[in-house]
Structure 1
Amino acid sequence: MTTPVSQLDYQDRVVVISGGSSGIGLGISRHLAALGAQLVIIGRTQSKLDHAVAQISAAGGRAIAYAVDVRESAKLAEHMADCKSRFGGIDVVIAAAAGNFFVPAERMSANAFKTVVEIDLVGTFNLFAAAFPALNKPGAAMLAITAPQAQRPMANQAHACAAKAGIDMLVKCLAMEWGAQGIRVNAVSPGPIAGTEGLTRLSATPEVERFVRDATALKHFGEVGDIAQAAAFLCSSQAGYVTGTVLDCDGGMRHGNFVSP
């Protein structure tokens, strides 16, 4: 018989999370810190990192931060080596850094397409590869944050759809390659989450916002906490036989009729 994810799963575990200073990433950071984990937050903006660390510390949690872009593989490797030296190893790695914007493909520059693919897809690989030598294995868990665009084509999202589809397959490939070493690799695919920048961009007008909400089977937006709890489960011992899986946490949006009005 299993028990719910609790402090027994995360007390003193070292969790590295990119994009952990805002939005869904920050929600995951705060949730895991509350469960007793030592958070290592990666992001590009020092002020956001400082604010995230302060929030976690004020709530009684533990966090440090590294200001680094996930596209900078060499710097990531240096920071992950420092993590191993400081904490003895890494238990959980979560890739939540992402970039996105809405633009028709014919108006998108090659650099714009490349930027999103590099942040989302290449950045996920860079983080996982940099952390690999520092993992406490067997028993380590890796998690990527993907999106419904990985499976559902969406107008004005060619770059994001391509990047997220790549993440889904990357997760499956790494699960196959690293499973024998006791490393699990999974992903969470969030739907429209209230209060996030992604939903704000997706819902430019009240009419579109209502349409997006109604495109979900549950007819309401999710909360950051929904994704945080899904992430906590997949990276815990409760999901010890789960790997190579993409968990849709989208209120049934993937199965809805999502065609913009």
Structure 2
Amino acid sequence: MPYQSVFRENAFADRAVIVTGGGSGIGRCVAHELAALGARVAIIGRKQEKLERVLAEIHEDGGAASAYVCDIREEDKVKAVIAEILAELGPVHGLVNNAGGQYPAPLSAINQKGFETVVRTNLVGGFLMARELYNQCLNKQGGAIVNIIADMWGGMPGMGHSGAARAGMDNFTKTAAVEWAAAGVRVNAVAPGWIASSGLDHYDASMKPMLLSLANGVPLKRLGTEAEVSAAICFLLSEAAAFISGATLRVDGAASQGGRVWPLPKAKNVPVYNGFHRAVRPKVLDD
């Protein structure tokens, strides 16, 4: 069974799109959907073996993709990988700034190195990717950038380093949307809430009870799927979003809209969209 996208066939034909963090989770799903819609996808990550697995999946499904190992926190490496991608694929039309990572800890227990590492991964790396693609390509032809952030509007207790970085990326999105508009470059963000993605399995086993309770804090009373996030990203990359820039689209089941005060009864009539034919349920969500 191929990817069951809601978008028309070949919606991204003749376009090249870069997806960072494409070796797993949401990035893997986005790479699959874009490839299924005709895009030439360049996935970037730090681990060759993870990239190769996704590459094999996409090729098996009939899509076009290539993989590049790069630490997006290193400026010289970002410059080099963008130049390499442009040399091999030609003009790039879109960027999905998806790479990120964090670890649970209260602010009082985070040292300077840990804080700076998370900020470099979730904010500095995304800035470097966007700036370099703009300078080397998008400023000449236009295009679209989608930055992936998180639900940080009420703070991120237990992950304050990530919350600070994601808030910074939200503001960077708005600034870049204004500064780069004259070149025909749109910049938007997608803020996933709690998503049933492979990233949940990376947390310590002690966090399983908390992870299993997450759906109770979502007005729709469930976790989101990777495909639901990917669909939002593909929309913002598409021509249908040609007049949308500087926006942040929350994909969180309304969890960021004040549910801590309003009582959340059991939900009904709540459909789930999961068009990703290779989606794998996180093991931590199994009872």
TM-score of the two chains, using structure 2 as the length reference? 0.84
Are 2:138 and 1:143 aligned?
Answer: no
SS of residue paired to 1:9: coil
- Note the 1:206-225 alignment, pairs <5 A: 207-225=209-227
SS of residue paired to 2:203: helix
| 1:161 equivalent among 153, 157, 163 | 163
Indicate if the aligned counterparts of 2:139 and 2:185 stay in contact, CA closer than 8 A: no
Indicate if the aligned counterparts of 2:144 and 2:187 stay in contact, CA closer than 8 A: yes
Q: 1:216 to 1:63 in 2, by over 3 A?
A: same
| 1:113 equivalent among 112, 115, 127 | 115
1:104-129 Cα deviation digits (max 9, x unpaired)? 11111100000000000001001101
Are 2:130 and 1:134 aligned?
Answer: no
Counterpart Cα distance in 2 of 1:27 and 1:95: 14
C-alpha root-mean-square deviation of aligned residues, in Å? 1.9
1:84-138 Cα deviation digits (max 9, x unpaired)? 2222211001110001111111111100000000000001001101211223754
SS of residue paired to 1:36: coil
Counterpart Cα distance in 2 of 1:144 and 1:173: 13
1:199-228 Cα deviation digits (max 9, x unpaired)? 763995554234310111110111000011
> 1:20 Cα deviation (Å)?
0.9
Deviates more, 1:190-199 or 1:137-146: 190-199
Q: 1:137 to 1:226 in 2, by over 3 A?
A: farther
Q: Match of 1:75? A: 77
Counterpart Cα distance in 2 of 1:19 and 1:135: 21
Identity %: 35
Counterpart Cα distance in 2 of 1:202 and 1:240: 42
Q: Match of 2:232? A: 230
- Note the 1:62-101 alignment, pairs <5 A: 62-101=64-103
Runs of 4+ with deviation above 3 angstroms? 136-139, 198-207, 256-259
Indicate if the aligned counterparts of 1:91 and 1:136 stay in contact, CA closer than 8 A: no
Q: Greater helix share, 1 or 2?
A: 1
| 1:179 equivalent among 181, 191, 194 | 181
Indicate if the aligned counterparts of 1:12 and 1:37 stay in contact, CA closer than 8 A: yes
Counterpart Cα distance in 2 of 1:101 and 1:85: 36
1:165-202 Cα deviation digits (max 9, x unpaired)? 00000000000000111000001001111133147639
SS of residue paired to 1:232: helix
> 1:7 Cα deviation (Å)?
3.4
Counterpart Cα distance in 2 of 1:15 and 1:23: 17
SS of residue paired to 2:180: helix
Counterpart Cα distance in 2 of 1:15 and 1:204: 38
Indicate if the aligned counterparts of 2:138 and 2:183 stay in contact, CA closer than 8 A: no
| 2:23 equivalent among 8, 21, 42 | 21
Q: Match of 1:249? A: 251
Give aligned pairs, total: 255
Q: Match of 1:61? A: 63
Indicate if the aligned counterparts of 2:26 and 2:197 stay in contact, CA closer than 8 A: no
Counterpart Cα distance in 2 of 1:214 and 1:226: 19
Counterpart Cα distance in 2 of 1:126 and 1:55: 28
Deviates more, 1:162-171 or 1:192-201: 192-201
Counterpart Cα distance in 2 of 1:143 and 1:213: 26
> 1:81 Cα deviation (Å)?
1.4
Indicate if the aligned counterparts of 1:25 and 1:97 stay in contact, CA closer than 8 A: yes
Counterpart Cα distance in 1 of 2:257 and 2:63: 38
Deviates more, 1:200-209 or 1:217-226: 200-209
Counterpart Cα distance in 2 of 1:202 and 1:10: 39
Indicate if the aligned counterparts of 1:202 and 1:209 stay in contact, CA closer than 8 A: no
